Structure 1
């Protein structure tokens, strides 16, 4: 039975765990606090034992401040582990601002607001020769989409007509990670949909699906966004997914936000 160790059981990693369990995998998850199905990061001996036993290891833990907490504690153990496959869920934020241009896996990294994420991405890539790094754009899916923001009255349209983002449905990300277990070499893979667009288009589509009025256009100042939400609009890029298509045989089930939002219903 293949055994996947997942460090960090967030939204995407939890859906990956569910998919793999349904396929007969043994899953060991690690999170801050243990429960019936997961270990706690503070249970150092149990985590190290899982690292030594797992056939596949994936980290989905983002950096904290300037350091990756998984690498800080377990880099040497993971580097020496007998696993046959290792992976890291990174972010397309490592590419920084491209002024709306396309970026791919060969594009420069480290110039954006996520310097710590770019450093963690590089450090994971150097850790093992079998490492797969999945650079992920804005992630959406059931319970975490523009539909939910519209329903909750938290949807905004920002008056930045030239601002372009890429995104991916969570189940397409899961499919890409699983595809890399069966095909393709180690390396970097962007897992994004085929239609980068302004965030406003998602809100407008969600409003149409839910038969809700479209919120007014606001300036960034009028929207009174949190610093984190505001920083989202400081960068502008389109993310190409051709490498994952070619080498993994991966095709997004939801190639645009239109199909993806309707699936979230």
Structure 2
């Protein structure tokens, strides 16, 4: 198995770590020389990719790739491998046997706190979510045309070692914003990696929500992290009076409960099914700082 991860950031690096013991090679792309050095230390072959130019080294990696994970956000120009003028994927990756596209639960839009699943019609609110919907459709169409399993992993709010409420509290950036009725799902980065491995090992394609069991108010998660640290949580701030960036405010414009039943029914057992268990494990392990 020769793995290529386009966009080996927080999630992509966790996936690489999960797949290294199984693979003949794992290659990951990044835009930064500094991040490339970090990938190399972890045993991943790093390549610089700006999201535009397919270098000779990247083309060589693509030619031997059997398993692809695409983690680069499309942006206004669209998915980097689906843009007009790019060579056909079948020509770039003739050995490809499985592909995974990392998307977001933001494609569902706002459902007023109701439950959604993979069959729920998509009503994306933000431009970035609309771009994801288009990219998802392109990847699924590619899989159908090529006769290959392509999995779309719709991820909820990602956290894990180095990116979590403990760090926010320690750095003084944590806030308890309160918007009545607002809930979010979350997902530990290790479960993103585990779900990817699960889908690869079973050759599964299709759409899967990769998210925890328990959508919860964001202020409750901050309070639980503070409790475990043995400190007072920051004061509650009404959402209406909070100073937020336009992007942060847009997240609160989408309220839904995302079901992971399809992935569970396929046989995947989540390592961290809820935020309380997950935060407790992070605190006990002492690796919350990264």
Same fold at TM > 0.5: yes
Of 238, 242, 249, which residue of structure 2 is paired with 1:230? 249
Q: CA RMSD in A?
A: 1.8
- Partner Cα distance (2:226, 2:86) in 1: 45
1:89 aligns with 2:96: no
Aligned position for 1:173: 192
- Partner Cα distance (1:74, 1:55) in 2: 23
- CA deviation after TM superposition for structure 1 residue 215, in Å: 1.4
Say which is worse superposed, 53-62 or 111-120, in terms of deviation.
111-120
- Partner Cα distance (1:159, 1:263) in 2: 26
Aligned position for 1:263: 281
Report the secondary structure of 1:128's partner residue.
Answer: helix
Report the secondary structure of 2:20's partner residue.
Answer: helix
Q: Say whether the 8 Å CA contact 2:175–2:236 is kept in structure 1.
A: yes
Of 216, 239, 250, which residue of structure 2 is paired with 1:197? 216
Aligned position for 1:251: 269
Q: How does 1:46-57 map to 2 (within 5 A)?
A: 46-57=57-68
- Partner Cα distance (2:271, 2:12) in 1: 18
Q: Say whether the 8 Å CA contact 1:28–1:39 is kept in structure 2.
A: yes
The TM-score with structure 1 as length reference comes to 0.93
- Partner Cα distance (1:73, 1:59) in 2: 18
Aligned position for 2:17: 18
Gaps of 5+ in 2: 284-290
Q: How does 1:94-109 map to 2 (within 5 A)?
A: 94-109=107-122
- Partner Cα distance (2:86, 2:20) in 1: 26
Q: Say whether the 8 Å CA contact 1:56–1:85 is kept in structure 2.
A: yes
- CA deviation after TM superposition for structure 1 residue 3, in Å: 0.8
- Partner Cα distance (1:167, 1:203) in 2: 13
